[in-house]
Structure 1
Amino acid sequence: MPIKIPSTLPAYEVLSSEGVMVMDEQQASRQDIRPLQIGLLNLMPKKIQTETQFARLIGATPLQIELTLIRMSEHQTKNTAAEHMETFYRTFAEIKDRKFDGLLITGAPIEHLPFEEVTYWDELREIMDWTQTNVHSTFGVCWGGMAMIHHLHGVQKHVLDHKIFGCYRHQNLNPSSPYLRGFSDDFVIPVSRWTEIRQSEIDAAQNLTTLLGSDESGPCLVEDPDHRALYIFNHFEYDSGTLKEEYDRDVEAGNAINVPKNYYPNDDPTKQPQNRWRSHAHLLYGNWINDIYQTTKYNLDEIGTKAG
């Protein structure tokens, strides 16, 4: 079944052209089922690109998904039209009384800042605490995952002396995990960050399990059952050309940047990059949606209660 999004959202036309099943409010109302309520807290500056990437992945499952786009209440984006934000997004203040089956918290291009210096850190802390009573399962991505594991467990992010940039080989460290059904033993994931989370600090925290990791780029996917959460520090959601866009942007700006590793054929940026992570991206997010479907309550009001 499809993902339910407004027919006027830019992602609707993009996903329809790709063969992803999408539906609008009128179509959804004819189906006698409860769609899963998934929120996307979008902290990225390119809102439309990011919402399309995540909608593509969670909309490829056989379940009906109703996606709610969320933004911080006070922070104003400078890279997306105000009309788009006003039409399609709700502030946290507007949705904080609702319950969700799942919530995605995206990355943000502010990893060089200490968490406490981020302008919306206090509100984000409130949101992360709110997930424990109003969200069945939360998925923190890249900086969003680092923020969650720091807030909930005190695990630090560490600034690197170089950018980890490219497609890095990762290993399946827990093949029996329901989130890794269908995963290969070895695969690549796009990585683009100046910070890292260290495995030794994950091991020192309580009841965290690393599911995916790399000898080169470190831990990638961490499960936190006590908080009904997953944290991923890399970018399965990236489009084929996302790393190229980042590379071309830095080259044009005159910034020192290495060619993204293992991304272009023969590491030649004049050649067309190949997507070698798409299938595993769909597996991971499909497995997450399936686990939510199997474990969430039919009555949304019971999420976060003793019954839920």
Structure 2
Amino acid sequence: MPIKIPDQLPATNILRRENIFVMTETRAVSQNIRPLKVLLLNLMPKKIETETQFMRLLSNSPLQVDVELLRIDNRPSKNTPTEHLDTFYRQFEAVRGRNFDGLIVTGAPLGLVQFEDVIYWEHLQDVMNWAHQHVTSTLYICWAAQAGLKLLYDLPKKTRKEKLSGVYRHQVNRELSKHPLLRGFDDSFLAPHSRYADFSPHYLDEHTDLDILATSNEAGTYLAATKDKRNVFVTGHPEYDAHTLHDEYHRDLEEGMEPVIPINYYPDDDPSQPPYVSWRSHGHLLFANWLNYCVYQQTPFDLDTFSASNFTLDE
């Protein structure tokens, strides 16, 4: 089944060229199907690139997904045309009174910024608190995972001395291998990271009640979830395109930051060679599992009847 997105969204033609089933709003209105309503809060600067990446992953499911785009505030963007934002993105006030099956909060280039110094921190807290009463399951990506842990568990910001950049091998937690989010996973898998945030498995295990589902010796915790599956934390970037880490590496070079070459990304660690993708299948499986087991299997058929009190912990 397809994702349903606006007819003129740039991602529509990009995904069609990749042979991905995209249903425009025009066609969707003729079908008597209850699609999943998923809200994408896009905090990344290059919004068109990021929205396309996430819609690619949301498309790989037998479920029909109706994606709506949300912006954190109305400040002008340096990397996204104002016309695009005004046409395709909603302000939070426009959705505050509605319920959604899923919410995805993207990463943001704020790894070295303290939470209280983030210009939209209070607004983001407002959205996350709202989600508890209006969203079946929320997926926090990279920096958003750190922000979510601060909100839900009041964990202080922990920062690595050097940026973690590259594609790292992870292992599933064998004691939780039957968790729905891990269905179909290999015992080990690859996923990209690009962050300063530090997610120590020992620290999270000691200070939260999260199910820690996958970790890496180098990258720390990768995948974790609350017992009721209503909050899922992914510390890496399974949505990244083949060249995203490459572009970030060269951006940092141009800014004089002397970045480390992304690990396990270029053939022979040679930045002059085209990078290769080794994480795509994992990314699609992760998102398909989240949509199915954390959203579709949990959400009410009638979203108007949604209530946070209806969710109980798995036994």
What TM-score, normalized by structure 2, do the two folds share?
0.94
Identity %: 44
2:189 matched residue in structure 1? 187
* Structure 2 residue 227 is the aligned partner of structure 1 residue 225: yes
Shift, 1:305, TM fit: 4.7
Q: Which residue of 1 aligns with 2:254?
A: 252
Query: Residue 298 of structure 1: which of 296, 301, 306 is its match?
Result: 301
- Specify the alignment match of 2:105 in structure 1: 105
- Report the CA distance shift for 1:126/1:3 in structure 2 as closer, same or farther (over 3 A): same
> Please, which moves more after superposition, 248-257 or 89-98?
248-257
In structure 2, the residue matched to 1:279 is 281
Sort the Cα spacing of 1:162 and 1:81 in 2 relative to 1 into closer, same or farther, 3 A. Answer: same
May I ask how many residue pairs the two structures share in their alignment? 308
Give the whole-Å Cα distance in 2 for the aligned partners of 1:182 and 1:306: 30
Mean CA deviation greater in 167-176 or 197-206 = 197-206
Q: Does residue 148 of structure 2 align to residue 145 of structure 1? A: no
CA distance in 1, matches of 2:298, 2:197: 33
Say yes or no: does 1:116 pair with 2:107.
no
CA distance in 1, matches of 2:142, 2:20: 25
Q: Which has the larger displacement, 84-93 or 23-32?
A: 23-32
Residue 81 to residue 65, structure 1, CA distance change in 2 (3 Å): same
Q: Matches of residues 120-131 of structure 1 in structure 2 within 5 Å?
A: 120-131=120-131
Contact 1:75 1:120 in 2 (8 A): no
Q: Distance in 2 between matches of 1:218 and 1:306?
A: 33
State the 1:247 CA deviation.
Answer: 1.1
Give the CA deviation at 1:226. 4.9
Kept in 2, the 8 Å contact 1:73–1:93? The answer is no
- Equivalent runs, 1:1-308 vs 2, <5 Å: 1-173=1-173, 174-226=176-228, 228-291=230-293, 292-307=295-310
- Which amino acid counterpart does residue 70 of structure 1 have in structure 2? L
For residues 206-225 of structure 1, the C-alpha deviation after alignment (integer angstroms, 9 at most, x for no partner) is 42111111001101111113
Structure 1 letter corresponding to 2:16: S
Q: Which amino acid aligns with 1:32?
A: N
Q: Report the alpha carbon displacement of residue 116 of structure 1 after superposing the two structures with TM.
A: 1.2
CA contact (8 A) 1:264 1:271 kept: yes
Q: Give the aligned residue type for 1:134.
A: H
- Assess if the C-alpha contact under 8 Å between 2:7 and 2:26 holds in 1: no
What is the root-mean-square deviation in Å for CA atoms of aligned residues? 1.4
> Any unmatched runs of 5+ in structure 1?
none
* SS in structure 2 of the partner of residue 275 of structure 1: coil
The structural deviation recorded for 1:201 is 2.6
Counterpart Cα distance in 1 of 2:307 and 2:258? 47
